[in-house]
Amino acid sequence: MSPDPHSETSLFPSAGSGTSNENSGLALPNTGYARVALERSIDSGEGGFTYAVPATLADLSVGDRVTVPLGRGNKPAAGVVVELLDEADPGIKRIKPIASRERSASSLPDDLVTLAKWVSAYYCCPLGMTFGSLLPAAVKRATGTRQRTQVRALPGLDVDSLPKLTKLQRAVLDAAIAHTVGDGWIDPKDLADAAGAKSTSPVNQLLDKKLLETRQQQRIVSDLDLRAQQAVSAATPPELTPAQAKAVESLRASVGQGFGVHLLHGITGSGKTEVYLRAIESLFASPGSNSDGSEEDYNGGGVIVLVPEIALTPQTVGRFLSRFGGASGGGEVAVLHSGLTAAQRHAQWQRIRDGHARVVVGARSAIFAPLPKVGLIIVDEEHESSYKQDQLPRYHARDIAIKRGQLAGCPVVLGSATPSLESYHNAKAGNFGLLELPDRVPGAVLPKVEIVDLAKERQERKGIHLLSHRLEAALKANLEAGGQAILLLNRRGYANYIACPDHRCGWMMRCDHCDVTMVYHRNAALPTGGLVRCHHCNAEQMLARLCPECGRNVTVFGLGTQRVEEEIERKFPGARLARMDADAMRTAKDYQQTLDAFARGETDILLGTQMIAKGLDVANVRLVGVVSADTSLNFPDFRASERTFQLIAQVAGRAGRGMHRGTVIVQSFNPNDPAIQLAAQHDYVSFAEQELQTRTDAGLPPVGRMARIVLRDTDDLANKKRAHELARALHKANDQLNLGVRLRGPSVCPIARLVDHYRQHIELIASPPQGAPAIQKLLTTLRNSGQLISDTHTAVDVDPVALL
């Protein structure tokens, strides 16, 4: 769902005054006015509060971060300048001046300010809060920088009328005057050395005499060493396949030619990354038709490459470093992900802001990287739901990428083997160009996929077997042949139900705080052998041995990765097995080590949740097993089929990347489900067509557009009441403005209670021709009238991807 190019102005009510204008501040001369979006204020109005610009800040610009006095107590508050004005709104009587400005190095480029305004309006997030999350905390706090004092001779010093100086003082002053590098600024110690002084006391004496001046300079002391990652990959680019060459040619032709979105639909192992790399090369080689010719303007601009967090491995980064890293280690590449220390993040941000890094590789939030100019944006695995942020602002990085590309006037490339239906629909409708890589790179072919009917297997074998005969035999043969295997089960823990075996009793262990069942986790270190955990609030309890209702011995059932692990250990005691899920992988390092060991061939079987389905490119993987294809299929979410298709197609894509043709075995109780069948046939287009028809018939996304409002409260009744009031207000505005938005609810959310909060939701759906603008209009109307406020009790989610 590409953000609609509605005009910014129509989305922003011209906002004006705020509480900050009640008392006037000092009577300083000022040079105009500025609107400042305050970080902490819940709703400062879309355009921020008006402040006077003091003469000392005459060069203030949009994007600068400032401190302003707020409220009666003039408490200092942080904010970002979003607009400069010659005249203040005459309605505002007394305007306070801006107190101070932060380091200019941390100011935001203009287009990011415009982007933030759009995000704030489109995703219903207060503007100041949007800036709050757009700027890393490490940058705001200047983490990892050290203050250093520098001195220089006072400019315009008249050497003929100096006061009386000692010989040493005179020598230091002469050295200071002689030092002309960097505007004359120099460390006191260096200056003393240059004059042959043993200490800095003559420097201090000259400062006292006001013959030298000082400044505080901030220096970033920590940086990320990317050299280690660079060694990982070979630097010789392969010869392009004809399909790759064609895609590269199209992208080359569009670089520097303004905004446009290209969907790169390339099957797993078709070499999409190589296409990205060549597109970047052509941007850097282009004369930069967008360039305004100014000196710091590097040709056509820089590049943002978004990768799902989980796929942001040294291998991935290494591929970009090997082309654009230069000899110095980091070179032109900057990396942004959650594994960085605060100081590293700050250092990377600053390199990008200063124009020293032209290629930014990062996870979701890297779409806000402060490149002075953007020439190309690439979103790899664009279908990934992790691109959606689940807290304020609830943005989708793929959609922001499109908006940013539009603002920057540059091409945007969305790549995937299993494009989201949103992007597929946009390509079909002609909004996006379509580039296709229908084959794997030379030497590799798509694996053969077999489906095992678990219902039949259960009948034949009596009892429950985690591994079907077929999968077990294939694992055995693969181990003997020296191949590696991947086993997927998208559920962690040991068993996800703890229940009374008597159906008439029906007791089941549930979380005390959430309306979900508890999951049993084995833990050999505990005297009880394990415990029971809620996957939503992490509450833990001891496993109940007896049913509290009828006293029978409880049973655990349902599948989790731990149970499969146990089964593999039992069946294949000699195999080297690694389990990769959120429980086993506590840190990014665990994850890295497990992947590296697997890539080096030190693990025979890699078992895990969806985190193993992404990006892994290991030639010796000859077998992939999907232990249960049903985990995502029965979800109460209209995207359940799409997610199932994507998961199977992606994990299947890990097999057969080398010389050995791979085999994929998919176990399911729904072997005839179209999502499973078509994934087995590698038939993305048939799946997408079918699914698009189903969605269209139901008026659902991508053709229909959607927003969801979730209301939560510890008081169920109060929550319901509030939900009904909000629904009434929505209906009223919808009718008055004749918007044609369909309103569903309020109703209880699929998860009725979460962390002791009861949950109600209202869904807003609009089909063409109304679509997204109608939803925007409705939400904005209620925001402006104060009837809809995004806070801890009310979550507005535009284009939601999670519906529980």
Binding residues for ligand ADP, rule: CB under 6 A, are 238-241, 244, 266, 268-274, 441-442, 617
Contact 411, 431 (CB under 8 A): no
Per-residue contact string for residues 456-495; x = within reach of Zn ion by CB under 5 A: ----------------------------------------
- C-beta of 660 vs 712, nearer to Zn ion: 712
- 514 is a contact residue toward Zn ion (CB under 5 A): yes
Tell which phi-psi region holds residue 489, choosing left (phi > 0), alpha (psi between -120 and 50) or beta. beta
| 3-class state of residue 300 by DSSP | coil
Selection from Zn ion, ligand ADP, none that 514 binds (CB < 5 to 8 A by kind) is Zn ion
Task: Tell me how far apart the alpha carbons of residues 421 and 708 are, in angstroms, rounded to a whole number.
Answer: 19
Work out how close the CB of 229 gets to ligand ADP at its nearest, in angstroms, rounded to a whole number: 16
Quote the least distance from Cβ 70 to ligand ADP, whole Å.
49
The residue (of 260 and 269) whose beta carbon lies closer to ligand ADP is 269
Q: Smallest distance from the beta carbon of 381 to ligand ADP, in angstroms?
A: 8
> Which residue intervals of 389-440 are DSSP H helices?
397-408, 421-428
Q: How far apart are the first and last CA of the chain?
A: 20
Span of 19-27, 288-296, 532-540, 660-668 interacting with Zn ion by CB under 5 A: 532-540
CB nearer to ligand ADP: give 311 or 401. Answer: 311
Q: Which does 220 bind (CB under 5 to 8 A by kind): Zn ion, ligand ADP, none?
A: none
Smallest separation (angstroms) from Zn ion to the CB of 636? 18
Nearer to Zn ion, 485 or 534 (CB): 534
Helix, strand or coil, per DSSP, at residue 297: coil
Quick one: 201 or 517, whose CB is closer to Zn ion? 517
Instruction: Using CB under 5 A, count the residues that bind Zn ion.
Output: 7
* Binding partner of 20, given ligand ADP, Zn ion, none, CB within 5-8 angstroms per partner class: none
For residue 468, give Cα distances in angstroms to 10, 458, 704, 711. 59, 9, 41, 44
User: Is residue 511 close enough to count as binding Zn ion by CB under 5 A?
Assistant: yes
Q: Which residue number, 275 or 626, has a Cβ lying nearer to ligand ADP?
A: 275
Say if residue 769 is preceded by a cis peptide, omega within 30 of 0: yes
Determine if 536 is a binding residue for Zn ion (CB under 5 A). yes
Which residues lie below 8 Å from residue 545, measured CB to CB, with a gap of 6+? 553, 554
Which of ligand ADP, Zn ion, none is residue 165 near (CB under 5 to 8 Å by kind)?
none
As a whole number of angstroms, the distance between CA 67 and CA 140 comes to 12
Pick one of Zn ion, ligand ADP, none as the site partner of residue 575 (Cβ within 5 to 8 A by kind): none
- Would you tell me how many other CB atoms lie within 10 Å of the CB of residue 201? 14
CA 712 – CA 758 distance, rounded (Å): 5
Which one among 534, 584, 599, 666 touches Zn ion, defined by CB under 5 A?
534
Which one of ligand ADP, Zn ion, none interacts with residue 513, CB within 5 to 8 A by kind?
Zn ion
Residues whose CB is less than 8 angstroms from the CB of residue 98 and which lie 6 or more positions away in sequence, other chains included:
34, 36, 51, 52, 53, 54, 57, 60, 66, 67, 68
Q: Shortest distance, CB of residue 273 to ligand ADP, whole angstroms?
A: 3
List C-alpha distances in Å: 480 to 118, 392, 485, 574, 753.
Answer: 57, 51, 12, 11, 49
What is the four-CA torsion angle of 302, 307, 309, 310, rounded to 10 degrees? Answer: -150
* CA atoms lying within 13 Å on the CB side of residue 804: 13
Choose among Zn ion, ligand ADP, none what residue 269 binds, the Cβ cut-off being 5 to 8 Å by kind.
ligand ADP
The reply to whether 509 sits near Zn ion by the rule CB under 5 A is no
DSSP percent split of the chain into helix, strand, coil, nearest 5: 35, 25, 45
**Least distance CB 276 / ligand ADP (angstroms):** 8
**Beta strands at 49-54 and 302-306: parallel, antiparallel or unpaired:** unpaired
Q: Which residues contact 11 (CB under 8 A, 6 or more apart)?
A: 118, 121, 122, 776, 780
Q: How far is the CB of 21 from ligand ADP (least distance, A)?
A: 54
Q: Please choose which of ligand ADP, Zn ion, none residue 534 contacts, taking the beta carbon within 5 to 8 angstroms, the exact cut-off set by kind.
A: Zn ion
Q: Does 531 bind Zn ion (CB under 5 A)?
A: no
| Residue nearer to Zn ion on the CB measure, 740 or 750 | 750
Report if residue 513 touches Zn ion, rule: CB under 5 A.
yes
Alpha helices in 123-220 (DSSP H): 127-134, 137-140, 167-178, 188-194, 201-208
Between residue 331 and residue 360, which ones bind Zn ion under the rule CB under 5 A?
Answer: none
Per the rule left: phi > 0, alpha: psi between -120 and 50, beta: everything else, 19 is alpha
**Shortest distance in whole angstroms from residue 262 CB to ligand ADP:** 15
Q: Which does 441 bind (CB under 5 to 8 A by kind): ligand ADP, Zn ion, none?
A: ligand ADP
Do residues 140 and 134 lie in contact, with contact meaning Cβ atoms separated by under 8 Å? no
Place of tokens 């979003």: 82
Q: How far is the CB of 313 from ligand ADP (least distance, A)?
A: 12
Task: Indicate which of ligand ADP, Zn ion, none lies near residue 273 (CB less than 5 to 8 Å, by partner kind).
Answer: ligand ADP
Site string for Zn ion, 538-567 (x = CB under 5 A): -x----------------------------
- Of 747, 746, 740, residue with least CA distance to 777: 740
Q: Give the strand pairing for 100-101 and 65-70.
A: antiparallel
Q: Where are the beta strands (DSSP E) in 631-755?
A: 663-668, 705-713, 742-754
Question: If contact means CB under 5 to 8 A according to the sort of partner, which of Zn ion, ligand ADP, none does residue 599 touch?
Answer: none
Residue 44 vs 244, nearer CB to ligand ADP? 244
Minimum separation from the CB atom of position 755 to Zn ion (A): 6
Vertex 283: Cα angle to 282 and 286 (nearest 5) = 80
* Among candidate residues 6, 4, 60, the one with its CA nearest the CA of residue 31: 60
Our finding on whether 519 is near Zn ion (CB under 5 A) is: no
Work out whether 498 is an interface residue with Zn ion (CB under 5 A): no
* Residue 509 near residue 499, CB atoms below 8 Å: yes
Which partner in ligand ADP, Zn ion, none is near 442 (CB below 5 to 8 A by kind)? ligand ADP
CB distance 394 to 125 below 8 Å: yes
In the list ligand ADP, Zn ion, none, the entry touching 579 (Cβ below 5 to 8 angstroms by class) is none
Site string for Zn ion, 30-69 (x = CB under 5 A): ----------------------------------------
97 DSSP β-pair partners: 52
The Cα–Cα gap between 545 and 539 comes to: 18
From the list Zn ion, ligand ADP, none, partner contacted by residue 334 (C-beta under 5 to 8 A by kind): none
The option from Zn ion, ligand ADP, none interacting with 268 (CB < 5 to 8 A, set by class) reads: ligand ADP
CB of residue 248 to ligand ADP, shortest distance in Å: 10
**Closest-approach residue to ligand ADP (CB):** 271
Nearer to ligand ADP, 333 or 618 (CB): 618
In the complex with ligand ADP, the residue whose CB is nearer, 650 or 670, is 650
Interface residues with Zn ion (CB under 5 A)?
A: 511, 513-514, 534, 536-537, 539
